[in-house]
Chains A and B, each alone.
Chain A
Amino acid sequence: QVQLQESGPGLVKPSETLSLTCAVSGGSISSNNWWSWVRQPPGKGLEWIGEIYHSGSTNYNPSLKSRVTISIDKSKNQFSLKLNSVTAADTAVFYCAGDDFQSGKVFWGQGILVTVSP
């Protein structure tokens, strides 16, 4: 069973860059999955941030595209998120996920709370 684990700082200062990594275990990041980031502000709903395929192809939410970069490191079986110029509105639980909807499979990390505060 594929497992995902997010890691990174839990506190980021305004105007700085939020950087998170998602380690994939129990399967290869080069498998037929799209690897994505989703965030959830406290008490609110889910927002899709973007995704990457093992080929390096990416898709981003237009609302965040100017500030987001998702990358993949196949040698480490992990992928990463960078969100720059953060504000308090970016405070959220960030989830990494992998999906192969053709096979009906979606894997989620446990989530990591990132707070933007001085």
Chain B
Amino acid sequence: EIVLTQSPGTLSLSPGERATLSCRASQSVNSNYLAWYQQKPGQAPRLLIYGASNRATGIPDRFSGSGSGTDFTLTISRLEPEDFAVYYCQQYGSLPRTFGQGTKVEIK
């Protein structure tokens, strides 16, 4: 099983600042099949990025994903008020599919 470790656990930033979230895998993710989700309280997760760097339909271009192998990054270039939420990475290249433990982006 691939273990995904996200860091930091919590990121305290102000609107307009840049957010950099990390997701590290315990072994290489097949074909860089790595997704990022955003989850707000009381809501289901929303797909942001798939295939490590492809934005899902309707996702603003301030969200970008990068990385390969075992190290992946989600960057939010300029935080908007609606971006404060919890973010999860998920690998779907191997079974079982696994999620990271999440990074909370909170308002400083």
Interface residues of A (CB under 8 A from B): 36, 45-48, 50-51, 59-63, 95, 97, 99, 101, 104-106, 108-111
Query: What is the size category of the interface that chain B forms with chain A?
Result: 20 to 34
- Residues of A within 8 Å of B50, CB to CB, are 101, 104, 106
Contacting B98 at CB < 8 Å: which of A48, A99, A104? A48
Complex Cα distance, B1 from A48, in Å, reads: 12
B96 to chain A, nearest CB (A): 4
Determine whether B99 belongs to the interface, using a CB cutoff of 8 Å to chain A.
yes
- Interface residues in B44-99 by Cβ distance below 8 A to A read 44-47, 50-51, 54, 56-57, 88, 90, 92, 95-99
Q: Which of B18-64 contact A (CB under 8 A)?
A: 33, 35, 37, 39, 44-47, 50-51, 54, 56-57
Given contacts A101-B33, A101-B35, A101-B51, contact A108 B96 (CB under 8 A): no
Tell me if B99 and A108 are in contact (CB < 8 A).
Answer: no
CB of B7 within 8 Å of the partner chain? no
Partner of A62, one of B1, B39, B57, B101: B1
Given A60-B96, A101-B50, A46 and B45 contact (CB-CB distance below 8 Å): yes
| Cα distance A59–B94 in the bound complex, in angstroms | 11
| Interface SS majority for chain A | strand
Q: Are B45 and A104 in contact (CB under 8 A)?
A: no
Known: A101-B35, A104-B50, A104-B56. A46 touches B88 (CB 8 A): yes
Q: Chain B residue with minimal CB distance to A110?
A: B44
Taking A101-B33, A106-B47 as contacts, is the C-beta distance between A45 and B102 under 8 angstroms?
A: yes
Residues A108 and B44 in contact, CB atoms below 8 Å apart: yes
Q: Contact check, A48 vs B99: say whether CB atoms are below 8 A apart.
A: yes
| Docked CA distance A108–B88 (Å) | 15
Closest 6 CB pairs of A and B: A108-B44, A106-B47, A46-B99, A61-B96, A48-B97, A45-B101
Q: How many angstroms between the C-alpha atoms of A50 and B51 in the bound complex?
A: 20
Contact A106 B35 (CB under 8 A): yes
Complexed CA–CA distance, A97 and B90 (Å): 14
